A and B are shown apart, each in its own frame.
Chain A
């Protein structure tokens, strides 16, 4: 569709408030030759129970339905892998279902769990996601990921998903980045930032102390994208437990409110027709009338340079929660930084900056924990976990990791989760001597964007401290 009816643009309504009671993650790595997927899932579930000072058996008593996300049966070579995990978690005979939406699988999985609670069907639901990307060599892995593109029209072309995505990066780079060295440098700053934050995260396997020059001199994957511009390929699991109000307060004194919006767009970028830009609450009609003048070639929307699914997901989520200006109303965000340039594209889709001006979010210092220009706290820090570039991209787990990380800031427990020396040791990692507490002080509201490949599926999850809502229920 390129025109949307009022019925389709209806703001989603949840029949009752939904809360995130707890979250948990396993360690993440490129490969775990001595761990089965169920061991990682149990690690994540146990962490979620620990977080609210319960045993896994106690937490299980509350769960009524379970939602499992993993992107590719191919990767784990196990159809109905969800049923295996459900059994190993000892949750039979509860109702359960598997969810698959590519890179957005984690977000979509909790979307299902949230709706189950909002509707009254369940008072407490588990959302668990994982990916097993180490059961095939990288070449075969690239082929399997490319199988998520159209198998007749795209996959035979190189069997390399990056190729189908990178044409979008090229168009954005030339039209909106004007192929400038300064824009290239801003892309590199994102890689430096996210890999730097990844160093402070014991769960992460992509932390690196690097410079802009390192990124710009790293090998070309598909110009202008270089190795250090790209996300990781990972193994690991993450989960969240969502509840109605009564159950949430039985589980913990400090549950967070949670909402979610979801959007989609054609699997093939090729099929995207020109349309009017749907506006977010902080955008005035007419804002984009001269976009094509300011950026010649930039008048086709969403074309190859924007993600309609991210815009629609944000439209639903912001209007559900009363977010008007995300930079003003939110304190911390996690974005889907599959590539440095797609991170910049997302800033515009989710309204951090107007279309065409995404780079300013980094150049202004707003996106940092500490603004490098002023030395003061960044206005809206992003990807303090390290994101997909610095922490992990275990596809089905990614969206749930992002939600957990936002939660830790609002719970004001980021340092406890990431700073514990014993945890670093247990994960076989060395805590850096210059480890820094990245807790966003006073964080009350946050956003996590879970995004599939070329933007076929996107979810926007908003978390808020219940005493700091933006609008009445």
Chain B
């Protein structure tokens, strides 16, 4: 891990990125020898930090840190998909390509969220920070035309099970990891660190 001072950080001034800290770490190559001790390759170490814009989705990720689930809706009276609510949040309607209206569906989620499918796995890839086994769940909501992908933090998932959203409001990461789900009736004391109902 980098020291606190070395962590790469970015701010925006006058519409331009300003960077501070280390965005890459240099480590020497090392040789690879085959069974007979002959050179067959090398390692290429690399550690980089990317700078990524959330653009029109920023409001979604920022709202998670405030305990809110924001979706978007097509309000174009001329669109055949008018009134469709999208979660995952879509900046534009996929049919008419007009900008969607941002709406708060925290209440809809609290009242209607249900597990559509799930998977429990001990496997993960490099950089995983979720506790294993990971319980992936897909969440359907009343009147929402798509099905959100997330993870269950408490209990065992089942298709049709009612769940509630919880939010990382105390130490937000400003990523999709800031929203998780628990079975209806889970007491606040059982939530993972930093999460609130």
Contacts and interface: CB of A to CB of B under 8 A. Distances in A.
Interface string B50-83: 0010100100010000000000000000001100
Given A1-B95, A152-B175, A171-B159, A143 B126 contact: yes
Contact of B119 (A2, A139, A146, A222): A222
Interface stretch (B10-18, B19-27, B140-148): B140-148
Interface string B107-145: 000000000111111111111111000101110000001
A273 interface: yes
Contacts of A157: 130, 134, 136, 149-151, 176-177
B40 interface: yes
A221 B57 CA distance: 33
Interface in A82-117: none
A10 interface: no
Interface stretch (A263-271, A283-291, A315-323, A426-434): A263-271
Given A157-B136, A157-B176, A268 B88 contact: yes
Interface in A242-296: 268-274
A270 B177 contact: no
Contacts of A152: 54, 57, 61, 175-176
A27 to B, nearest CB: 17
A148 B4 CA distance: 31
A272 B137 CA distance: 16
A62 B21 CA distance: 55
A174 B138 contact: no
A33 B146 CA distance: 45
Contacts of A140: 125-126
Chain B interface residue bracket vs A: 35 or more
Contacts of B177: 156-157
Interface in A147-161: 150-154, 156-161
Contact of B145 (A142, A220, A222, A274): A274
B117 A143 contact: no
Interface stretch (A162-170, A325-333, A368-376, A414-422): A162-170
A158 B130 contact: yes
A170 B116 CA distance: 10
Nearest to A223: B120
Contact of B118 (A1, A137, A156, A170): A170
B126 A163 contact: no
B188 interface: no
Chain A interface residue bracket vs B: 35 or more
Greatest chain A CB density within 10 A among B84, B121, B122 is at B121
B117 A158 contact: no
Given A33-B41, A77-B44, A153-B176, A3 B121 contact: no
A8 interface: no
Contact of B125 (A151, A160, A170): A160
Given A163-B134, A222-B121, A270 B176 contact: no
Nearest to A162: B123
A413 B114 CA distance: 54
Contacts of B44: 77
A158 B41 CA distance: 30
Contact of B146 (A145, A169, A273, A297): A273
B118 A33 contact: no
Nearest to B178: A156
Interface in A219-235: 220-223
B194 interface: no
Contact of A154 (B61, B87, B149): B149
Interface string A62-86: 0000000000000001000000000
B146 A270 contact: yes
B47 interface: no
A72 to B, nearest CB: 13
B41 to A, nearest CB: 7
A143 B124 CA distance: 8
Contacts of B124: 139, 142, 158-160
Contact of B121 (A1, A2, A162, A171): A162
B190 interface: no
Interface in A113-153: 137, 139-146, 150-153
Contacts of B120: 222-223
Interface in B17-50: 32, 34, 40-41, 44
A95 to B, nearest CB: 31
B90 to A, nearest CB: 8
22 contacts: A2-B81, A33-B40, A143-B125, A145-B125, A156-B129, A156-B175, A156-B177, A157-B130, A158-B125, A158-B134, A160-B123, A163-B136, A166-B119, A166-B121, A169-B119, A170-B118, A170-B159, A174-B117, A174-B159, A269-B149, A270-B147, A273-B146
Given A154-B176, A167-B138, 11 more contacts: A140-B126, A158-B130, A158-B134, A160-B128, A161-B125, A163-B119, A164-B149, A167-B117, A271-B86, A272-B146, A297-B159
- Nearest 5 CB-CB pairs, A to B? A142-B125, A159-B125, A143-B125, A222-B121, A171-B117
Interface of A: 1-3, 33-34, 77, 137, 139-146, 150-154, 156-164, 166-171, 174, 220-223, 268-274, 297, 304
